[in-house]
Structure 1
Amino acid sequence: MISAHPISPIATQVWLVIEPVDMRIGIDGLSQRIQHRLGRSPCDGAAYAFRNRRQTRVKLLVWDGTGVWLCQRRLHRGHFTWPDIAAITHPLTPTQWDWLITGIDWQRLSAPAPAHWQV
């Protein structure tokens, strides 16, 4: 299980897809993106999270063993924190996922201390 908020009984990993998507895209379109752009199977046991450009909406695509779930979350204020990296995807830990879906900057969980900071 990924988090205290169960995604799926069999999802072992959440992958953030870095590139924003049009939120009108449904299960088939997102599954095609996973297959063609990521080179993965949407039925590989992982959950795939997609975001819109404004980072106010997230769609999660996950296979549960018999079918595909597509869940959406929208923040009314603020935005979801997404990594600014050149990679296509980024894996999240269960704790990072919990922070992300609440709109908290999950990247601060492992922020390194400033090298030259003194009291």
Structure 2
Amino acid sequence: MRRTGVDSGQRDSAATSGVFDRAFASGDDRSYWRGNAMMMLSTAVKVYIAAEPIDMRKSIDSLSMLVRPMFDQDALSGHVFVFYGRRRDKIKVLVYDRTGFWLMYKRFESGSLADPAAIARRGISLAELTTWLEGIDVGVRRRVHAVNATVVA
């Protein structure tokens, strides 16, 4: 987060709103945001994982242009599109939310993602994506299948 005028004891106008004030009160710019910044996604959102690695230097515009040829989907659909690098230690997640694109980037400090190509072939839920992004191999667990009930008795 960028602050201006910090040395003179003044903050820029964006930093004077309530959320930012709590962040600056502790003296650590990142203290408030650690674990608190999130984006809400519906369970109806589908997750698409690239079947092959991409050049991780690509930005929002380049990745959104890859969505149609790689996933046969519209980048503006609101679904989650996951891209990973050759060494599988970096991942980018692209989402559109009616006002613009989100691009989330994660670099694993040690280790790498469990076989993204295999997960792309079988599909992954939003809950499994969260687990996978924590470095847990979701391919070794058996998924409980959804029940299509029409009557409660």
Taking structure 1 as the reference length, what is the TM-score of the superposition?
Answer: 0.76
Q: Which one-letter code corresponds to 1:74 in the other structure?
A: R
* Residue of structure 1 in register with 2:129 after alignment: 97
Q: 2: distance between equivalents of 1:108 and 1:78?
A: 17
Give the 3-state SS of the residue equivalent to 1:70 in structure 2. Answer: strand
Deviates more, 1:54-63 or 1:87-96: 87-96
Report sequence identity in percent. 27
Name 2:99's counterpart in structure 1.
66
Gaps of 5+ in 2: 1-36, 144-153
Deviation at 1:110, TM superposition (A): 1.5
Q: Distance in 1 between matches of 2:115 and 2:39?
A: 19
Which string of whole-angstrom CA distances, capped at 9 and with x for unpartnered residues, describes residues 42-90 of structure 1? 01120100000100011000001110011101101110113444x9765
**Shift in Å, 1:8:** 4.1
Task: Find out whether 1:109 has 2:141 as its counterpart.
Answer: yes
8 A Cα contact 1:59 1:70, kept in partner: yes
Does the CA contact (< 8 Å) of 2:48 and 2:120 recur in 1? no
How many residue pairs end up in the alignment?
Answer: 106
2:85 counterpart residue number = 52
Which has the larger strand fraction? Answer: 1
Task: Point out where structure 1 has 5 or more consecutive residues left out of the alignment.
Answer: 112-119
| Moved beyond 6 Å, runs of 4+ | none
1:30 pairs with one of 46, 60, 63: 63
Q: Whose Rg is larger?
A: 2
Equivalent pair of 1:61/1:70 in contact (CA under 8 Å):
yes
The structure with more helix, counted as a fraction of residues: 2
Q: Measured at CA, do residues 89 and 65 of structure 1 come closer, stay the same or move farther in structure 2, by a change above 3 Å?
A: farther
Paired with 2:48 and 2:122, the residues of 1 have a C-alpha distance of 5
Q: Distance in 2 between matches of 1:6 and 1:108?
A: 28
- The match for 1:15 among 40, 48, 59 is 48
Decide whether aligned partners of structure 1 residues 84 and 17 sit closer, same or farther in structure 2, where only a CA change above 3 A counts. closer
